[in-house]
C-alpha cells in the first residue's frame, strides 16, 4: 500500500536523514517537506498526506500546536512525532494533542520504519529510550 508522507523538521539535514531512512521502504512516497509548524499545517491541508512525520521544537509554530491543527483539518492524516525529547511528559502531551506515534530522534534508525508502518494503519506506536516499542 502506498503511504504518502509529509516530513516536517526545521533542520534540512534532519529532513535529508528522514528521507533517506524512509526511502528504504519502496512503497512509501515523501510527498513534501516543511520547515516549521505553519508550513506543516498549510501543506497537510493542501496535500492530505497519510502520515505526517513531525518534529516538536520548531520556529513559528511548535509541532504540538501543528499536530492539534492538522488533526482538526485533516482527520485522516496520522501524526508521528519524531523528537529529541526523550520524555514521558512530552510523549503524553503529544498523544493528547492527537499524535498516533512518538519516536525519539536518537532511535530513529531503529524505530522510524516500524512506527510509520503502525501509524499508517492507524495503530499507536510509542518508544522512549531504554524502552521497547509499544504498538497495538
Q: What is the binding site for another protein (CB under 8 A)?
A: 9-21, 55-64, 82, 84-87, 89-90, 93, 105-106, 108-109, 112
**Would you say 60 or 122 has its CB closer to another protein?**
60
* Ramachandran quadrant class, 27 (left: phi over 0; alpha: psi -120 to 50; beta: rest): alpha
Q: How far is the CB of 76 from another protein (least distance, A)?
A: 26
**Would you say 21 or 123 has its CB closer to another protein?**
21
Q: How far is the CB of 131 from another protein (least distance, A)?
A: 17
**Would you say 22 or 119 has its CB closer to another protein?**
22
Identify the CA nearest to 91 among candidates 38, 49, 133: 133
Q: How far is the CB of 58 from another protein (least distance, A)?
A: 6
**Would you say 14 or 123 has its CB closer to another protein?**
14
Please report which helix (H) or strand (E) contains residue 42, including its range: helix 37-47
Residue 14 near residue 41, CB atoms below 8 Å = no
Residue given cell 523538521 in the structure block: 9
Q: How far is the CB of 48 from another protein (least distance, A)?
A: 25
Please report which helix (H) or strand (E) contains residue 117, including its range: helix 108-120
DSSP character at residue 14: H
* Cβ count near 107 (within 10 Å): 18
Amino acid at each position: 500500500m502506498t503511504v504518502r508522507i509529509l516530513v516536517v523538521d526545521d533542520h534540512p539535514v534532519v529532513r535529508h536523514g528522514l528521507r533517506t531512512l524512509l526511502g528504504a521502504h519502496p512503497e512509501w512516497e515523501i510527498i513534501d517537506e516543511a520547515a516549521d509548524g505553519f508550513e506543516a499545517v498549510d501543506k497537510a491541508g493542501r496535500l492530505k498526506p497519510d502520515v505526517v512525520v513531525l518534529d516538536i521544537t520548531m520556529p513559528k509554530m511548535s509541532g504540538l500546536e501543528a499536530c492539534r491543527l492538522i488533526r482538526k483539518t485533516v482527520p485522516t492524516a496520522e501524526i508521528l512525532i519524531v523528537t529529541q525529547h526523550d520524555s514521558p511528559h512530552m510523549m503524553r502531551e503529544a498523544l493528547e494533542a492527537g499524535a498516533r506515534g512518538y519516536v525519539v530522534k536518537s532511535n530513529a534508525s531503529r524505530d522510524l520504519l516500524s512506527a510509520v508502518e503502525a501509524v499508517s494503519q492507524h495503530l499507536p506506536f510509542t518508544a522512549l529510550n531504554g524502552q521497547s516499542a509499544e504498538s497495538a
